[in-house]
Amino acid sequence: MSDAAFDGPTLSLRITARQEIAQDIVMFELARPDGADLPEFTAGAHVTLRVPNGLLRKYSLCNDPQERHRYVIAVKRETPGTGGSLSLTTDAKIGDAIEVGEPRNDFALAGNIQQFLFIAGGIGITPILSMMRHLKSSGAGRFKLIYLTRSRVLTAFHDEIKAEFPGQVTIHHDEGDPDRMFDLWPALEKPQGRHLYCCGPRPLMEAVRDMSGHWSSAAVHFEDFGATKPAHKADDKAFRVHLARSGQTFDIPANVSILDTLRAHGITVSSSCESGTCGSCRTKLLAGDADHRDLVLTEREYATNIMICVSRAKTDELTLDL
């Protein structure tokens, strides 16, 4: 089965290495069959793979962008889930051919910044590890990492991170005990000219967003490593969306996003993460009261913007500048 098409050029690569690096986390190395250089990527980039069962899934690259001979990803086996990660971690073997989209970056490092704070939760370490490796090899800036996981056995790249970045990393395991949750406030209390990058489960990112409200919005960056789309709430209701420029009006069902509804009617809107973290689907809101569920917009932007991949309506109708 297949659930989507690639949105750009693709590469036919081979799996040249496979290793279980933590419980239910498998690292894959991908390369051209002839060993030739791969298209360049920047720290924080991801690639889209067609996994063995035909689904398309996005995975962040975790190696240093200076490496041109390989792409390295780490995949968490999700059970239950939609089947993409299960198919890749169960069925993909060394030597297999795999179709891969060229790298794309919706979580890029800000330029001309000298200090960074990284906060990673679980498998969210992957794009941040690429960033750290880039900063170390290029000397482009200083950084600290706070890496939060449930336990040592669930921590991807534990030994590599401690060895590669001595003195720059705090790794914390809460063992599933709420009383052992890491206190992020001391790290977030004073921005100190830093840029903050956070990747992990949505509850972690929401906590970081709440504690970094006094930071400049331009200095705070998120990427979601939860489900591709956040779960709809049980009390979600249907509403209407009116497109001001085209004059069309569409009903948005309770369990369908604005973005997916527009797509179903042949309307193309820019999008990427579809989890409310990258900002690609930002749309001007002309009328109505939105139920904002993204991690991109500031409160000052709520009245005039909406992320149509995840946000919904509090009123019966929204009017968009489309």
pLDDT digits (tens, 9 = 90+) for 35-74: 999 999 999 999 999 999 999 999 999 999 999 999 999 9
Q: What is the pLDDT of residue 123?
A: 95
Work out the angle at residue 222's Cα, subtended by the Cα atoms of residues 81 and 270, and round it to the nearest 5 degrees. Answer: 80
Identify the CATH number of the domain in which residue 179 sits.
3.40.50.80
Sign of the CA dihedral running 251, 273, 153, 96: positive
Domain annotation covers residue 202: yes
d(CA 256, CA 239): 11
Q: Are residues 52 and 83 part of one domain?
A: yes
Identify the CATH number of the domain in which residue 264 sits.
3.10.20.30
Q: Are residues 249 and 203 part of one domain?
A: no
Contacts of 242 (CB under 8 A, 6+ apart): 248, 249, 287, 317, 318, 319, 320
Contacts of 197 (CB under 8 A, 6+ apart): 44, 107, 109, 116, 117, 118, 119, 128, 131, 221, 222, 223
Q: Are residues 68 and 120 part of one domain?
A: no
Instruction: Give the end of a domain, one of 192, 224, 256.
Output: 224
Instruction: Give the end of a domain, one of 161, 194, 224.
Output: 224
- Are 173 and 151 in contact by the 8 Å Cβ rule? The answer is yes
d(CA 301, CA 298): 5
Domain annotation covers residue 250: yes
Q: What is the pLDDT of residue 66?
A: 97
Q: Are residues 220 and 119 part of one domain?
A: yes
d(CA 271, CA 281): 5
Q: Are residues 249 and 219 part of one domain?
A: no
Domain annotation covers residue 139: yes
Phi, psi for 141 (deg, rounded to 5):
175, 165
Q: Are residues 63 and 29 part of one domain?
A: yes
Instruction: Give the end of a domain, one of 189, 224, 259.
Output: 224
Q: What is the pLDDT of residue 227?
A: 46
Q: Are residues 160 and 97 part of one domain?
A: no
Domain annotation covers residue 2: no
Domain annotation covers residue 122: yes
Domain region containing 34: 10-101
Structure tokens at 226: 């939860």
Domain annotation covers residue 110: no
Q: Are residues 125 and 216 part of one domain?
A: yes
Q: What is the pLDDT of residue 226?
A: 53
| Tokens 């968009």, residue located | 320
Structure tokens at 212: 């970094």
pLDDT in tens, the chain (322 residues): 344 578 889 999 999 999 999 999 999 999 999 999 999 999 999 999 999 999 999 999 999 999 999 999 999 998 766 688 999 999 999 999 999 999 999 899 998 899 999 999 999 999 999 999 999 999 988 999 999 999 999 999 999 999 999 999 999 999 999 999 999 999 999 999 999 999 999 899 999 999 999 999 889 999 876 544 555 788 899 999 999 999 999 999 999 999 999 999 999 888 777 888 888 899 999 999 999 999 888 888 999 999 999 999 999 999 999 9
Q: Are residues 52 and 30 part of one domain?
A: yes
Identify the CATH number of the domain in which residue 28 sits.
2.40.30.10
d(CA 312, CA 84): 27
Among the residues of 165-298, which ranges form H helices? 185-188, 202-211, 258-264
Domain annotation covers residue 108: no
Q: Are residues 183 and 128 part of one domain?
A: yes
| DSSP letter string, 83-104 | SHHHHHHHH--TT-EEEEEPPB
Q: Are residues 305 and 212 part of one domain?
A: no
Q: Are residues 199 and 148 part of one domain?
A: yes
d(CA 63, CA 43): 8
| DSSP letter string, 188-225 | HS--TT-EEEEEE-HHHHHHHHHHTTTS-GGGEEEEE-
Number of domains in the chain: 3
Domain annotation covers residue 3: no
